[in-house]
A and B are shown apart, each in its own frame.
Chain A
Amino acid sequence: MKFTMLAAAAAAFMTLGVNEALAGRDLDQIKQRGTLRCGVQGPSNPGFGVPDSQGRWGGFNVEICRAIAITIFGDPSKVEFVPVTTQSRFPALSAGEVDVLSNNTTWTLTRDTNVNRFNQPAITFYDGQALMVPRRLNVTSARQLNGATVCVQPGTTTELNIADYFRANNLRFTPVVIADLDEIRRAYDSGRCDVFTNDFAALAAQRTLLTRPADHVILPERLSKEPLAVTIRQGDEELTNIVAWTTFALIDAEELGITSANVEQIAGSSTNPVVRRLLGVEGNMGESLGAARADYARQIIRTFGNYGEIFERHLGTNTPLGLERGMNNIWTRGGLLYAPPAR
């Protein structure tokens, strides 16, 4: 509570005048400094941002920041990673300790508007509260969970959401309230409750820790919307554009079938004008964006691959997290990822 109040006080202070940024001011500062300061979730966030045993940051959110650095500098190494906590992330952004937050911050109205004066240019990951059940229950939808016992953390939106969902669907349930996430997992694993609920990505991480992860399924329903977006300070149109179109380039590349393996070959041979524009072979997309080089998207894809490749490398089914693409798939394949045309 103390943290949030302090954070709010710090954020309120910001609005008093320091944040009267001119367009492009943040971007100018970043360029002058020569590095992008990227706030990532501390201490760590499995799959999204984790330091390895040698102290090097890796993960989905980390590579998003490196991609933004390619757009700005043409160099993925020009990033300083600054670990921020859930309490310190907004004051740190307001005070200029970091330039961007890439730390699983949900896009909400108050964050995007006058209260905090932030901008959340593009969604990088669609999360939402999900339900996990043992496979042996033969349940395929949350609607079949009438009378279930549900393990849940007290005092969280998770607890409220599940109560709302069951009431709205005329279902009964028995809550088993346990404060600690590890304790909940053990309780669920030993069969004390039928359902384990949390945000999807967190739930998938918890599933890897069960005795037999393959014996449990995460149901398709989502009880809440948690669109996670890169967050920056309000007032810099150019940086907003760069963050948005870096994300869109990753999504477009996947939609167009461009991967780290074939990007050079496609750039050399493709006659598709959409592809040629995206990869900087023709047009002046990079220049209008203010990118360091005309072929910024080509460099990003060569370095990290498209959205799908980054997803599979850190979160996908071959990783310990084992996430299905689900909502985080290209719109043509039933997901929500849809980028405006780069033209």
Chain B
Amino acid sequence: MSATTAPAGPAFTERATAFLRACFAGPVNSAITLACLAVLYFAVPPFWAWAVTNATWNGNAETCRAAGGACWAFVREKFWFSIFGLYPYEERWRPATMIVILVAMVVASTIRRFWGRWLLLGWAVAAPAMWLLMQGGVFGLSFVQTRQWGGLTITGIIAVYGLALGYPLAILLALGRRSELPLLRWFCTAVIECVRGVPLISLLFMAAIMLPLFMPEGVTIDRLIRVLVAYTLFTAAYMAEVVRGGLQAMPRGQYEAADAIGLGYWKKMRLVILPQALTVTIPAQVNTFIGLFKDTTLVVVIGVFDFFTTLRAALGDPNWLGFPTEAYLFAAGVYFVLCFAMSRYSQNLERTLRPESR
């Protein structure tokens, strides 16, 4: 990265020369370099012409079709719909406020200086507050059913609530699976294997459609809560195995040392084992996190309008038929930004948590 950011100087020239030399070192390298350049030459200008030169930024479907390029006007028209989905139009300030709080809380949680009791307390207050703000029915807010929540809002809710609740559960499951109490060990193993052995879609289907059939007459649990429980369980089962990997990677000496200085089980885990086990598994954790985040799109099978589904719904607008490429590129862009942010943050975390850097 620093090669491109350093503007000039001998270091830059040196690196550029080294780069070029590597590109054309020998006939094979040269051929590969030329082939890559040719692909870029044929792919980039047409894409640029479509996405920028002939693109329409303002206007309607007709002006878009006339211009022939990308129809970014479509994405602009549907932008807020993709954020708020089917939430009642007059009440859109509520999900907007919720997103601001959610983003603020997530950002605060990524800053190591804030890690501590107060942050947990903050979440304990913010999480129900955000839910109440969305659902209403109190303080003069009109009641909005969870089935009307949608768009990026619901993707955010499912991802953040699911991952935040699933993570501690995962640690408990992982510890349970390595416990010396047979019953606890069997129970945790069974939970992990059963949940992990089933596709997320079936879990969601069970939660959304089958579960109500087994409930006593008159007892109903909100569909979104059922979906969140299913997603949280799924997250926990996957993360538990990652955490268990970390626990097993710890040298026996670490456990023995903790025992030797007389720490009890919980203190041993909290102060000695887990900090190391979680740190070494950060890449695997983030890998799982990113995968699970993208899995939120599966909620469409039970009729929840997440961000991606909302965009697909927008494609059916009779006044804006025929711009799927733009919509999918926009969706890809949003998912990439969010996943890339997670990835960069985890790399940063890896560096600062490395023992030698402390």
Q: Which of B309, B310, B318 contacts A46 (CB 8 A)?
A: B318
Q: Which of A54, A55, A92 contacts B209 (CB 8 A)?
A: A92
Does B81 have its Cβ within 8 Å of any Cβ on chain A? yes
Does B315 have its Cβ within 8 Å of any Cβ on chain A? yes
The answer to whether A55 and B86 have CB atoms under 8 Å apart is yes
Q: Which of B87, B89, B301, B319 contacts A320 (CB 8 A)?
A: B319
The answer to whether A54 and B305 have CB atoms under 8 Å apart is no
Does A310 have its Cβ within 8 Å of any Cβ on chain B? no
Q: Name which residue of chain A comes closest to B310, CB basis.
A: A43
CB distance from B106 to the nearest CB of A (A): 25
In Å, the complex CA distance between A46 and B312 comes to 11
Interface stretch of the complex, out of B12-20, B198-206, B253-261: B198-206
Query: Which of B78, B209, B309: most chain A CB closer than 10 A?
Result: B209
Residues A43 and B209 in contact in the complex (CB < 8 Å), given A53-B80, A55-B89: no
Does B111 have its Cβ within 8 Å of any Cβ on chain A? no
Q: Which of A6, A14, A43, A46 contacts B305 (CB 8 A)?
A: A43
In Å, the complex CA distance between A320 and B321 comes to 9
CB distance from B50 to the nearest CB of A (A): 15
Does B26 have its Cβ within 8 Å of any Cβ on chain A? no
The answer to whether B316 and A50 have CB atoms under 8 Å apart is yes
Does B84 have its Cβ within 8 Å of any Cβ on chain A? yes
Residues A88 and B302 in contact in the complex (CB < 8 Å), given A44-B316, A55-B85, A95-B212: yes
Interface stretch of the complex, out of A68-76, A79-87, A265-273, A324-332: A79-87
Q: Name which residue of chain B comes closest to A17, CB basis.
A: B213
The answer to whether A44 and B301 have CB atoms under 8 Å apart is no
Q: Name which residue of chain A comes closest to B220, CB basis.
A: A96
Does A209 have its Cβ within 8 Å of any Cβ on chain B? yes
Does B101 have its Cβ within 8 Å of any Cβ on chain A? no
Does B150 have its Cβ within 8 Å of any Cβ on chain A? yes
The answer to whether B209 and A95 have CB atoms under 8 Å apart is yes
Q: Which of B85, B147, B212, B317 contacts A50 (CB 8 A)?
A: B317
Q: Which of B89, B145, B147, B208 contacts A56 (CB 8 A)?
A: B89
Does A175 have its Cβ within 8 Å of any Cβ on chain B? no
Does B136 have its Cβ within 8 Å of any Cβ on chain A? no
Does A10 have its Cβ within 8 Å of any Cβ on chain B? yes
In Å, the complex CA distance between A314 and B316 comes to 13
In Å, the complex CA distance between A321 and B318 comes to 7
The answer to whether B318 and A83 have CB atoms under 8 Å apart is no
CB distance from B48 to the nearest CB of A (A): 22
Does A280 have its Cβ within 8 Å of any Cβ on chain B? no
Find chain B residues with CB under 8 A from A321 CB. Answer: 318
The residues in A between 60 and 114 inclusive whose CB is less than 8 angstroms from any CB of B are 80-85, 87-88, 91-92, 95-97
In Å, the complex CA distance between A46 and B324 comes to 14
Does B32 have its Cβ within 8 Å of any Cβ on chain A? no
Chain A, interface residues (CB within 8 Å), range: 35 or more
Find chain A residues with CB under 8 A from B313 CB. Answer: 42-44, 50-51, 83
Q: Name which residue of chain A comes closest to B316, CB basis.
A: A44
Does B193 have its Cβ within 8 Å of any Cβ on chain A? no
Does A47 have its Cβ within 8 Å of any Cβ on chain B? yes
Does B34 have its Cβ within 8 Å of any Cβ on chain A? no
The answer to whether A55 and B81 have CB atoms under 8 Å apart is yes
Q: Name which residue of chain B comes closest to A185, CB basis.
A: B322
The answer to whether B210 and A10 have CB atoms under 8 Å apart is yes
Does B303 have its Cβ within 8 Å of any Cβ on chain A? yes
Find chain A residues with CB under 8 A from B318 CB. Answer: 46-47, 50, 314, 319-321
Residues A44 and B303 in contact in the complex (CB < 8 Å), given A51-B81, A53-B81, A96-B212: no
Query: Which of B150, B303, B321: most chain A CB closer than 10 A?
Result: B303
Does A18 have its Cβ within 8 Å of any Cβ on chain B? yes
In Å, the complex CA distance between A223 and B292 comes to 44
Does B88 have its Cβ within 8 Å of any Cβ on chain A? yes
Does B295 have its Cβ within 8 Å of any Cβ on chain A? no
The answer to whether A95 and B199 have CB atoms under 8 Å apart is no
Query: Which of B147, B223, B312, B313: most chain A CB closer than 10 A?
Result: B313
The residues in B between 137 and 181 inclusive whose CB is less than 8 angstroms from any CB of A are 145, 147, 150
The answer to whether A46 and B209 have CB atoms under 8 Å apart is no
Does A208 have its Cβ within 8 Å of any Cβ on chain B? yes
Does B130 have its Cβ within 8 Å of any Cβ on chain A? no
The answer to whether B315 and A205 have CB atoms under 8 Å apart is no
Residues A53 and B317 in contact in the complex (CB < 8 Å), given A10-B210, A44-B312, A96-B212: yes
The answer to whether B300 and A10 have CB atoms under 8 Å apart is no
Q: Which of A85, A182, A209 contacts B303 (CB 8 A)?
A: A85
In Å, the complex CA distance between A92 and B303 comes to 9
Find chain B residues with CB under 8 A from A80 CB. Answer: 145, 147
In Å, the complex CA distance between A13 and B150 comes to 30
Q: Which of A46, A87, A209 contacts B317 (CB 8 A)?
A: A46
In Å, the complex CA distance between A13 and B78 comes to 40
CB distance from A86 to the nearest CB of B (A): 10
Find chain A residues with CB under 8 A from B300 CB. Answer: 42-43, 85
Does B77 have its Cβ within 8 Å of any Cβ on chain A? yes
The answer to whether B150 and A55 have CB atoms under 8 Å apart is yes
Q: Which of B77, B205, B324 contacts A10 (CB 8 A)?
A: B205
Does A136 have its Cβ within 8 Å of any Cβ on chain B? no
Find chain B residues with CB under 8 A from A2 CB. Answer: 199, 201-202
Find chain B residues with CB under 8 A from A55 CB. Answer: 81, 84-89, 150
CB distance from A229 to the nearest CB of B (A): 21
Q: Which of B78, B84, B301, B322 contacts A85 (CB 8 A)?
A: B301
Find chain B residues with CB under 8 A from A14 CB. Answer: 213
Contact with B along A33-62 (1 / 0, CB 8 A): 000000000111111001111111100000
Q: Name which residue of chain B comes closest to A205, CB basis.
A: B321
Q: Which of B84, B202, B322 contacts A209 (CB 8 A)?
A: B322
CB-based closest 4 A-B pairs = A44-B316, A43-B313, A43-B312, A44-B313
Q: Give residues in B with beta carbon < 8 Å to A.
A: 77-78, 80-81, 84-89, 145, 147, 150, 199, 201-202, 205, 208-210, 212-213, 223, 300-303, 305, 309-310, 312-319, 321-322, 324
- Beyond A44-B317, A88-B208, 16 additional contacts (C-beta under 8 Å) are A3-B301, A10-B213, A14-B213, A18-B213, A43-B300, A43-B305, A46-B321, A47-B318, A55-B150, A82-B303, A88-B209, A91-B205, A92-B303, A95-B210, A314-B318, A319-B318
- 9 CB contacts below 8 A, A to B, read A2-B199, A3-B301, A14-B213, A43-B300, A43-B305, A53-B78, A55-B81, A55-B150, A87-B301
